[in-house]
Amino acid sequence: MIYLDNNATTICYPEVSEIIENYSLKNYGNPNALNSFGKEINNQISIARKSIANQMNCDKNEIFFTSCATESINWALRSSTYYKGKRNKVITSSIEHKAVLNTLKDLKQLSGIEIVEVNPEKNGIVDPEKIIREIDDRTFMVSLMAANNVTGNIQPYREIGDYLSKTDIFYHIDAVQTIGKLNFSLDNIKTNFASFSGHKFHGPKGIGILYIKNGTKVRPIITGGGQERGFRSGTQNVAGIIATSVALKISNEKLHDNMIEMKKLREIIVQRSKKLRGIINTDLDNSIVNTLNVSFPGLKGQVLVNALSADDVQTGISSACSSRTDGGQYVLEKAGIRKEIASCSIRISLSSFNSEDEILEFVNKLEKMVNLLKI
């Protein structure tokens, strides 16, 4: 199988799989138990938290563990809304992940907040000035993704952070698609919240991270026994936490070389796609290097994805969280891409596990399928 759907999920590093097995079968103690077994497991969580903080260049007390990025996003957005005071305006982009857009819609129903969604430019990137122009004395929160999961385009999260640093407005960055694909470090980014997901960078599923800047007002997301310093109750996913800390370390150590290799492999796909008269929807100069979104007019994206899958090639059409509803086409359409072109798009997302031989085999299969199915 040739796996090219790495923005949906990634294979675990071998070291990660070993840790999951170890902490599931051998070191399986409850980290909140008062016996020595539990205390040692709790110490391992502390070590993992510190390791993640060091990798992200922040304080260990700013790292909180959740079940996934969606939970992390919910926590950041709902907590900010709780502390909004008399202000009621949220600014985001229209191409955010559904975890952001649908959570804000729910908060609008619950709290009556006003949501302003800024559309991207034709290159699929939001103009930071358009966000800044929307900020006024009614604004209590801005939420923006660092890199779009459908196109890979990098959004102006740094510029917005710099501007908001002069205000008391809550700022959340959806950083899910950054690790292993982008040089992302919290020491030079001004934000209150940043959300991550372990399985996007060769860690396990079922573990998320929320960075909460020291001093930020935050409300518990889950109440109960008071784990995660009283802010997120529930027995911790020990294997997931420790495995994710290792996955993050490996991803950062390999980042430079992997980015060079993935960019080279993506260019092979770009050139063959152009020969097949594909329309490149990704801004190749301003995107994470592992991602390519391309449309083949006259051939529905889902049809092509299914055909490739039948030939042992796994690609995608969008976020895995929305692929069974609208296919993530809204991201392309909000950038002004016609619906008939957006519906013909597929997303190809690489990882460090892909080889040049695989990519050469893939583009041959792609050419065969496009020529066979195109009308």
Residue 168 has pLDDT above 70, yes or no: yes
Look at residue 156 and give its three-state secondary structure: coil
CATH of residue 202: 3.40.640.10
Query: pLDDT, tens digit, for every residue of 150-167?
Result: 999 999 999 999 999 999
Q: Which of 211, 231, 252 is the last residue of a domain?
A: 252
pLDDT at 155: 98
Query: pLDDT, tens digit, for every residue of 19-38?
Result: 999 999 999 999 999 999 99
**Closest Cα to residue 278, out of 298, 301, 297?**
297
Q: Which of 228, 252, 276 is the last residue of a domain?
A: 252
Same domain, 78 and 206: yes
The predicted model scores a pTM of 0.96
pLDDT at 374: 77
What's at 286, amino acid-wise? N
124 in Cβ contact with 341 (< 8 Å): no
User: DSSP readout, 259-279?
Assistant: HHHHHHHHHHHHHHHHHTTPE
Same domain, 279 and 146: no
pLDDT at 292: 98
Query: pLDDT, tens digit, for every residue of 73-117?
Result: 999 999 999 999 999 999 999 999 999 999 999 999 999 999 999
Same domain, 97 and 136: yes
Exposure class string for 101-118: b at 16+ Cβ within 10 A, else e: bbbbeebeeeeebebbeb
In this prediction, residue 318 has a pLDDT band, given cuts at 50, 70 and 90, of: low
Query: pLDDT, tens digit, for every residue of 245-298?
Result: 999 999 999 999 999 999 999 999 999 999 999 999 999 999 999 999 999 999
Same domain, 347 and 219: no
Same domain, 232 and 109: yes
Same domain, 295 and 230: no
What is the residue range of 191's domain?
14-252
Query: pLDDT, tens digit, for every residue of 320-355?
Result: 555 455 567 999 999 999 999 999 999 999 999 999
Q: Which of 213, 233, 252 is the last residue of a domain?
A: 252
Catalytic residue among 12, 58, 68, 321: 321
Same domain, 344 and 208: no
Same domain, 73 and 113: yes
Same domain, 72 and 98: yes
Averaged pLDDT of the chain: 96
Same domain, 272 and 244: no
Query: pLDDT, tens digit, for every residue of 202-251?
Result: 999 999 999 999 999 999 999 999 999 999 999 999 999 999 999 999 99
Same domain, 96 and 231: yes
Among this protein's residues, is 68 annotated catalytic? no
Same domain, 280 and 309: yes
CATH of residue 340: 3.90.1150.10
pLDDT at 324: 53
Number of domains in the chain: 2
